[in-house]
């Protein structure tokens, strides 16, 4: 009975240990493995277990804790490295257009992985009743790429949340130089069209919200 009381006391001590609290927060049920080892240390020390065996059990427990923490850090880093452009975006009414014939009343843009490239797809409707749709895939590493039989795109990742590009489309010479940028919170995206390669003269500003 005395040993059972000692073990129960050791168990309570283990589960109140700060490491156990951290483990419960991160991995839930697996905490039991770690905390049982600590409880075992306390219990066996009361029974006269050798110092060497106690150190071995403690080392195993600490190795298990380290592996879990490292795994969580790697997963968090992987989530943070996700391309912020990926996903579906819908046009905001706050968008601004210079020419009436260019004004969009709606548009959906989607970005998704396409091998080592990112594929952009869009479908929209203009105020004059016409539709605008298309797609292209690009690495955005500064290499000119063919977007269609008559259109070429060259884009460059300037930062994690910004892409500068140039689309050479004979059918739409007014929309050639652009910057695509996602806000820090990842919920809004702007596509700014410029009249010049230096990107000083703004033409149109398309504002998008991330679709839920």
Under the banding of pLDDT at 50, 70 and 90, the label for residue 47 is very low
| pLDDT greater at residue 164 or residue 79 | 164
In the chain, the domains with their CATH numbers are 2-80 (no CATH), 87-210 (2.40.128.20)
Residue showing tokens 């795109």: 153
What global pTM score does this model have? 0.62
CA distances for 97 relative to 91, 179, 193, angstroms: 13, 15, 10
pLDDT greater than 50 at residue 45: no
d(CA 47, CA 156): 67
Percent of the chain topping pLDDT 70: 64
Measure the CA angle with vertex 132, ends 142 and 83; round to 5°.
Answer: 40
Q: Which helix (H) or strand (E) holds 13?
A: helix 2-15
Written as six digits, the tokens of 3 are: 């040993």
Burial-class residue 125 by CB neighbours within 10 Å (0-12, 13-18, 19+): middle
Measure the CA angle with vertex 73, ends 67 and 75; round to 5°.
Answer: 100
* 78-130 pLDDT per residue, tens: 334 589 999 999 999 999 999 888 899 999 999 999 999 999 999 999 999 99
* 182-202 pLDDT per residue, tens: 999 999 999 999 999 999 999
Cβ-based neighbours of 19, under 8 Å, separated by 6 or more: 34, 38, 65
């Amino acid at each position: 009975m005395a040993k059972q009381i000692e073990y129960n006391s050791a168990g309570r001590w283990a589960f109140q240990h700060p490491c156990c609290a951290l483990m419960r927060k991160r991995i839930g049920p697996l905490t039991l493995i770690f905390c049982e080892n600590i409880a075992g240390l306390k219990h066996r020390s009361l029974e006269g277990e050798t110092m060497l065996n106690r150190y071995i059990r403690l080392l195993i427990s600490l190795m298990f804790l380290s592996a879990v923490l490292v795994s969580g850090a790697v997963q968090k880093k992987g989530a943070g490295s996700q391309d912020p452009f990926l996903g579906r975006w819908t046009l905001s009414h706050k968008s601004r257009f210079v020419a009436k014939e260019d004004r969009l009343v709606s548009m959906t843009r989607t970005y998704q992985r396409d091998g080592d490239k990112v594929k952009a797809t869009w479908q929209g409707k203009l105020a004059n009743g016409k539709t605008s749709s298309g797609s292209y895939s690009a690495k955005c590493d500064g290499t000119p790429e063919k977007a269609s039989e008559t259109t070429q795109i060259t884009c460059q990742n300037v930062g994690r949340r910004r892409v500068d590009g140039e689309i050479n489309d004979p059918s739409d010479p007014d929309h050639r130089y652009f910057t695509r940028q996602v806000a820090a919170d990842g919920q809004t995206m702007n596509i700014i069209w410029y009249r010049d390669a230096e990107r000083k003269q703004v033409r149109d500003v398309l504002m998008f919200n991330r679709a839920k």
